[in-house]
């Protein structure tokens, strides 16, 4: 029976190899790749949508509009927008166990640069004065609060191994996102840690099955001279090779035998068991790893998805929002107010009104949309949810949606008036 010690020494010993093996599987194993993609999609989908909690509707609209405009240019590398960066952080968190990003000041305000987690210097672990420590590149004060990160200054497009000492970066400029497995944890652990060996063994087993099938396809006959009339085991011809349909002389009497290679028994059941094991280790319903819906129905899908969605919400609101989304919101809105992009004369008196936001995840896709719409309508009628929340879950800002509805209604009215005049 294995043992497990304190979380941080265990991570320091195995974190790098776990991350490397998990990255290999996520790139080369189709089951793991599918599971990682489905976890990423479930966590962020097209992106979690913020809505300001400012009590004034006009100010709330201005703040939301400013953030929406900023989100389009959020990526310091110019490859995607803020919603795409959410997916990159979620993917890194699943595979490597943690996501790492820098908040960079620019002329257009804060921008985000996603970094590979291995740039956080794992070799830097030292005791400092006044109770401060550095563990695996993360500097902590005497209370365990993060005060700085020690990041290796590797260039994004670097293709050759090089070394430069880690640079100390203040914690306010670093977004370090991971799901803690134990109290006091400093670095993240790959979500694939429980399934790495199983996935590797499954790959090996599939290779063995494929080789067995190839051998079975070589159905050959062997001619044996039972009377010993010939001394040439190959009948005077060239050495025969084992090929499908071949008859191979063996000499020393002649008889004919056919090869019967042993087939691996219960291969399908064993593979299904391993896929279920991988799915359980990743915390996913079976069909989100195997893609097999042959035995699924509405009830079984719902029963499998409900506990999974609870896990998703735990990570969304316990990890992504406090560690990534909320700090970005505060940095962007603060810059907007101080730079004059948002007219907020009462910011200093009520900063919380401006720096608070609700982050609503996209509504999960439903097996039966009609039933989902009926449920939403019932919740609204019973006062169990608000129209703002229901709209935000679909990726819209309530004020923008109302403006579009009014515009559609006005356009329809004008069109009807024009038709009546004609």
Q: pLDDT-based confidence at 119, cuts 50/70/90? A: very high
Give the separation between CA 225 and CA 234, rounded to whole angstroms. 11
Mean pLDDT of the 312-316 span: 94
Give the pLDDT confidence score for residue 271 in this predicted structure. Answer: 86
> Is pLDDT above 60 for 256?
no
Q: Which residues pair with 51 in a beta bridge?
A: 358
Q: Which residues pair with 120 in a beta bridge?
A: 151
> Is pLDDT above 70 for 235?
no
Give the separation between CA 380 and CA 382, rounded to whole angstroms. 5
Q: Is 266 left (phi over 0), alpha (psi -120 to 50) or beta?
A: left
Mean pLDDT, all residues of the chain: 84
Give the pLDDT confidence score for residue 261 in this predicted structure. Answer: 54
Q: Which residues pair with 106 in a beta bridge?
A: 109
Q: pLDDT-based confidence at 210, cuts 50/70/90? A: confident
Record the tokens describing residue 399, joined without a space. Answer: 């004020």
**pTM of the prediction?**
0.80
Question: Chain-centre distance of CA 342, in angstroms?
Answer: 34
Mean pLDDT of the 71-98 span: 95
Give the pLDDT confidence score for residue 133 in this predicted structure. Answer: 93
The most confident of 51-60, 145-154, 316-325, 389-398, by mean pLDDT: 316-325
Q: pLDDT-based confidence at 250, cuts 50/70/90? A: low
Angle, vertex CA 82, rays to CA 314 and CA 373, nearest 5: 55
Give the pLDDT confidence score for residue 220 in this predicted structure. Answer: 59
> Is pLDDT above 70 for 186?
yes
Is the CB of residue 76 less than 8 Å from the CB of residue 108?
no
Mean pLDDT of the 367-379 span: 78
SS3 per-residue string spanning 224-292: EECCCCCCCCCCCCCCCCCCCCCEEECCCCEEEEECCCCCCCCHHHHHHHHHHHHHHHHCCCCHHHHCC
> Is pLDDT above 80 for 143?
yes
The DSSP line for 147-193 is EEEEE----TT--S----PPEEEEGGGEEEEE--SSTT--S---TTT
Task: Return the SS3 of 52.
Answer: strand
Query: 370: how many CB neighbours lie within 10 A of its CB?
Result: 8
In the 8-state DSSP scheme, what is residue 356?
A: -
> Is pLDDT above 80 for 400?
no
Give the pLDDT confidence score for residue 253 in this predicted structure. Answer: 54
Mean pLDDT of the 138-158 span: 85
**Strand 221-225 relative to strand 247-249, pairing:** parallel
């Amino acid at each position: 029976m294995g043992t497990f010690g304190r979380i941080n020494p265990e991570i320091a010993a195995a974190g790098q190899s776990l991350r490397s093996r998990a990255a290999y599987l996520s790139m080369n194993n189709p089951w793991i790749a599918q599971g990682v993609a489905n976890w990423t999609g479930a966590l962020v989908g097209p992106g979690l949508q913020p809505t300001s909690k400012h009590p004034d509707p006009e100010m709330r609209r201005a703040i939301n509009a400013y953030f929406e405009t900023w989100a389009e240019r959020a990526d310091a590398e110019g490859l995607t927008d803020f919603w795409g960066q959410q997916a990159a952080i979620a993917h890194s968190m699943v595979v490597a166990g943690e996501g790492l990003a820098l908040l960079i000041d620019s002329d257009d305000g804060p921008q985000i640069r996603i970094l590979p987690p291995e740039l956080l210097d794992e070799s830097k672990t030292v005791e400092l004065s006044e109770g401060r420590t550095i563990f695996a590149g993360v500097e902590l004060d005497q209370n365990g609060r993060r005060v700085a990160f020690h990041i290796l200054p590797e260039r994004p497009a670097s293709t050759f191994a090089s070394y430069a000492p880690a640079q100390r970066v203040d914690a306010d400029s670093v977004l370090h996102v991971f799901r803690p497995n134990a109290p006091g944890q400093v670095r993240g652990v790959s979500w694939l840690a429980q399934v790495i060996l199983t996935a590797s063994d499954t790959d090996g087993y599939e290779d063995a099955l494929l080789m067995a099938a190839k051998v079975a396809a070589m159905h050959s006959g062997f001619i044996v001279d039972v009377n010993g009339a010939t001394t040439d085991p190959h009948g005077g011809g060239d050495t025969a090779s084992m090929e499908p349909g071949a008859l191979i002389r063996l000499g020393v009497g002649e008889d004919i035998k056919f090869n019967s290679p042993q087939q691996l028994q219960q291969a399908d059941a064993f593979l299904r068991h391993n896929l279920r094991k991988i799915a359980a280790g990743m915390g996913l319903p079976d069909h989100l790893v195997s893609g097999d819906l042959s035995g699924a129905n509405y009830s079984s899908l719902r029963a499998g998805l409900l506990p999974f969605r609870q896990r998703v919400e735990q990570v969304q609101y316990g990890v992504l929002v406090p560690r990534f989304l909320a700090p970005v919101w505060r940095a962007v809105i603060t810059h907007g107010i101080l730079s004059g992009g948002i007219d907020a004369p009462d910011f200093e008196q009520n900063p919380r009104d401006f720096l608070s936001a609700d982050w609503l995840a996209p509504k999960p896709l439903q097996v039966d949309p009609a039933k989902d719409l009926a449920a939403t309508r019932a919740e609204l009628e019973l006062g169990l949810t608000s129209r703002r929340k229901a709209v935000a879950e679909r990726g819209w800002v309530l004020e923008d949606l109302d403006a579009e509805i009014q515009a559609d209604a006005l356009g329809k009215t004008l069109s009807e008036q024009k038709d009546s005049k004609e």
